[in-house]
Structure 1
Amino acid sequence: IVAIDFGTSYSGYCFSLASNTKEIRQMFWGVEHGLRTQKTPTCILFNEKQEFKKFGYDAVMKYKSLPSSEAHKWYFFQNFKMSLYNTKVTSDMKLEASNGRTLPALLVFAESLRYMKEHALNTILEASYNTVCDPDEITWVITVPAIWSVAARQFMRLAAKEAGLISDMMSEKLVIALEPEAASLWCKEL
């Protein structure tokens, strides 16, 4: 199981291996930047060709290091999660980057989830000492706000499909969990 907390400001994940489901392992972020946090900023950076480049602390650092003559050509998104709240959510909606440029929201969300997926798979491989880890056997859990509409939740499922977490929209290998329900279930475990 890999549980992704795709947050408004910060994101992270934790996982458990089938060999020991009670042991929950958490990732720490920002070590290469002199930090050690349980989450990374929910920021994503695309280059001028609209290609994914960086996520989290790496996106922030890269964007800040770009000369202003270059930065205006790139797409830097932060705090974009709540764009799915209080709006008509469609699969072709756009998001506005820091500099006013726009990209399809589905691309921004899918690439963010793809990054988290790839990062998690690499971490799991390391944690399991490179034993075989079949990505198709992983159950993914993504938390979403309880205030989100059904359309916003479906949009996250579509983004997860585009990111390769699941192969079809009806897959039982993806759980869209409401944040307060996930918190309540965790409290029962304590």
Structure 2
Amino acid sequence: MASNVQGKMLLVAAFDFGTTFSGYAFSLRDDPNKIQTNWNWYAGGGASLKTPTSVLLNQKGEFHSFGFEAEDYYTYLAEDGAHDDWRLFRRFKMVLHSSEHLMKDVTVEDDCGKQMEAFPLFVMSIEYLKKHLLTPVVNLNVGINEADIVYVLTIPVIWHDNAKRFMRDAAVEAGIDTSRLKLALEPECASIWRENTDTKNDVTVKEHTIWWSISDIVGDNSGDASKPNCAFNTTRPASGGTISLTPANSFLILS
């Protein structure tokens, strides 16, 4: 089933769901080396490839906004003393690192120290990233539907299996078809990518973004990075950032 989906995919999108910042990139099957990222997040007057992993809930406990929009709106409310019962959550991904006995009802604290189950926050975040991705995809005007997209979530190798299941369940709850969802372990995929590249690959640094040309990197949905053809993250000491490469031949997010 997974191979059939891979063969029919028209676009691969990778979500870098980070502890502090999140973002995505995508490329088309017909032009896999043309990696496209989002430049529509703005911070301090400048464009950013990533947005804070922050979720703002309104007074009814409903999703209001994500990222810079969530941070800015909460600040606006707080300045006027109108933020009572609004809830801002930051760095909640850390809960997945904390326990090998992780349960779906694990809780996190908002900015004021009030507890809430973490799972809905992951679902809301992935829903937001998915919806945000679909806007530039539609604007490409190449006839791609949501069902034509394969999604990749990169995950840390140190996570226990229940943390991986937690993230997969959140993505499925967010509306991603499980047959088009792949988990990719970060360092193993980096090693596999390096083993399958040669010195002919071009590396260009521009605006703190590095574009690497790689070939036929497609992860499987087991999240087993010991197999070839996976997405990856690796560190680049010169910048201190994290690079996320994703399938469909190549693309990258720099954090």
Which SS does the other structure have where 1:71 is aligned?
Answer: coil
Deviation, structure 1 residue 19: 2.5
The match for 2:97 is 85
Look up the match of 1:73. 85
Alignment of 1:7-18 (within 5 A): 7-18=18-29
The 10-residue stretch of structure 1 (7-16 or 177-186) with the greater mean CA deviation from structure 2: 177-186
Provide closer, same or farther for how the CA distance between residues 3 and 71 of structure 1 changes in structure 2, counting only shifts above 3 A.
same
Which residue does 1:59 correspond to in 2? 70
Q: Equivalences for 1:172-187 in 2 at 5 Å?
A: 172-185=179-192, 187=194
How far apart are the structure 2 equivalents of 1:77 and 1:15? 27
Larger Rg: 2
**2:48 partner letter:** T
Quick one: distance in 1 between partners of 2:190 and 2:51? Answer: 20
Paired with 2:41 and 2:26, the residues of 1 have a C-alpha distance of: 19
SS at match of 1:25: strand
Q: CA deviation at 1:32?
A: 7.4
Identity percentage over the alignment?
36
User: Structure 2: which amino acid aligns with 1:113?
Assistant: I
The aligned amino acid for 1:111 is M
Quote the offset at 1:72 in angstroms.
3.3
Q: Evaluate the alpha carbon distance shift between residue 36 and residue 181 of structure 1 in structure 2; reply closer, same or farther with a 3 A threshold.
A: farther
TM-score normalized by structure 2? 0.67
Alpha-carbon separation, structure 1, partners of 2:73 and 2:165: 32
Measure the CA separation in 1 of the matches of 2:39 and 2:93.
21
Q: 2:108 aligns with which of 95, 98, 107?
A: 95
2:162 maps to what in 1?
A: 151
**Aligned partner of 1:72: which letter?**
D
TM-score (norm. length: structure 1): 0.88
Structural RMSD (CA): 1.9
| Alignment coverage as a number of residue pairs | 184
* 8 Å CA contact 2:41, 2:49 repeated in 1: no
Q: Relative to structure 1, is the Cα distance of residues 21 and 105 closer, same or farther in structure 2, using a 3 angstrom cutoff? A: same
The one-letter amino acid of 2:185's match is: L
**In structure 1, C-alpha distance between the alignment counterparts of 2:76 and 2:135, rounded to whole Å:** 27
What letter is aligned with 2:179? Answer: E
- Once residues 26 and 192 of structure 2 are traced to their aligned partners in structure 1, the CA distance between those partners, rounded to angstroms, is 16
- The reply on whether 1:161 has 2:175 as its aligned counterpart is no
CA distance in 1 between counterparts of 2:76 and 2:43 reads: 15
Distance 1:184 1:35 in 2: 34
Shift of 1:33: 5.3
Bigger fraction of residues in strand? 2
Of 1-10 and 15-24, the range deviating more from structure 2: 15-24
User: Secondary structure of the residue that 2:35 maps to in structure 1?
Assistant: strand
- SS across alignment from 1:133: coil
